[in-house]
Each structure stands twice: as C-alpha cells, then as structure tokens.
C-alpha cells in the first residue's frame, strides 16, 4: 500500500513541476515583452529629447532681424545618402539586439545572430 502512495506522490509532484514549468515559460515571455517595450520606449524617449533640444535651441538663439531661409531642394545625387542613412539605422537596430528581417522585425533577438537579418544587411 505504501508503494502505491509513493508512486502517486511522485506523479503529483511531476504534474506540479510541469505546471510550474509552463508558468515559468509564461513569465519568461512577459519579461521578454517588457524588455522590448522598455527598449522601444527608451529609444523613443531619446528621439523626443533630441527633437525637444532642437526646438528649444533655436528659440534661445533667435535673430531678430533675419528671416529663416527655406532649405534648398535636395539634388538627385543625395538619394544615395538617404539609402546609406537607412542602412545605418537598420544596422544600429540590429546591433542593439533587434530583428530587422521581415520575419521577426522589431522583436528582441534572444538567441544570437539571425541569418535572415544578416542576409538582409549583406544585400
């Protein structure tokens, strides 16, 4: 009789461990999502601070007599600069730990390098 009781307790412990394992997986996913949101919000906060700094800085140094000149229209050759800037932004995002591929774009890279992202960067 005691052997059956021990076997039942082992099965009960096994099911409890399975339940704990699934709860741990759910918590791990929640932490991953929170880290992604935190990183995204930090980047957004940094960008907003830069914009605010740019807006506040001209207000402090307003010339009273001169008017703001319209910016010149970009020439055809400057299109390559925009492509380079976009590539640099994607490379920066990738090196900060985010996917840039069309499969997992914007998700946090948790398992090292992504072949899709690397092939996209090498194009």
Q: Is 71 helix (H, G, I), strand (E, B) or coil?
A: coil
- Are the CB atoms for 87 and 75 separated by under 8 Å? no
pTM as predicted: 0.43
Check pLDDT > 80 for residue 69: no
Residue 110 domain flag = yes
Share of the chain above pLDDT 90, in %: 26
Q: What is the C-alpha separation between 116 and 102, in angstroms, rounded? A: 8
Extract the tokens encoding 111. 């398992």
Same-domain pairing of 3 and 46? yes
User: Known binder of ligand: residue 117?
Assistant: yes
Please indicate whether residue 12 or residue 97 has the higher confidence score (pLDDT). 12
Domain around 2:
1-61
Instruction: Give residue 83's pLDDT.
Output: 56
Confidence of residue 73 (pLDDT cuts 50, 70, 90): very low
User: Known binder of ligand: residue 101?
Assistant: yes
Residue 69 domain flag = no
Confidence of residue 14 (pLDDT cuts 50, 70, 90): very high
Q: What is the C-alpha separation between 123 and 117, in angstroms, rounded? A: 10
Check pLDDT > 60 for residue 22: yes
Residue 67 domain flag = no
Same-domain pairing of 43 and 4? yes
User: Known binder of ligand: residue 114?
Assistant: yes
User: Known binder of ligand: residue 39?
Assistant: no
Same-domain pairing of 2 and 52? yes
Q: What is the count of structural domains for the chain?
A: 2
Same-domain pairing of 44 and 1? yes
Q: What is the C-alpha separation between 14 and 17, in angstroms, rounded? A: 5
Residue 90 domain flag = yes
Residue 55 domain flag = yes
Same-domain pairing of 7 and 53? yes
Query: pLDDT tens-digit profile of 28-64?
Result: 999 999 999 999 898 888 888 888 888 887 666 655 5
Tell me the mean pLDDT in the region 8-32: 95
Same-domain pairing of 98 and 57? no
């Amino acid at each position: 009789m005691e052997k059956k009781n021990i076997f039942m307790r082992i099965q009960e412990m096994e099911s409890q461990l399975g339940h704990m394992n699934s709860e741990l997986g759910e918590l791990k996913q929640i932490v991953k999502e929170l880290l992604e949101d935190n990183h995204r919000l930090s980047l957004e906060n940094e960008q907003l601070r830069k914009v605010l700094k740019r807006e506040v800085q001209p207000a402090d140094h307003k010339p009273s007599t001169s008017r703001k000149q319209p910016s010149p229209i970009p020439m055809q050759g400057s299109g390559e600069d925009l492509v380079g800037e976009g590539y640099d932004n994607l490379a920066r995002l990738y090196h900060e730990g985010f996917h840039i591929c069309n499969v997992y774009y914007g998700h946090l890279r948790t398992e090292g390098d992504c072949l899709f992202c690397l092939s996209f960067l090498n194009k």
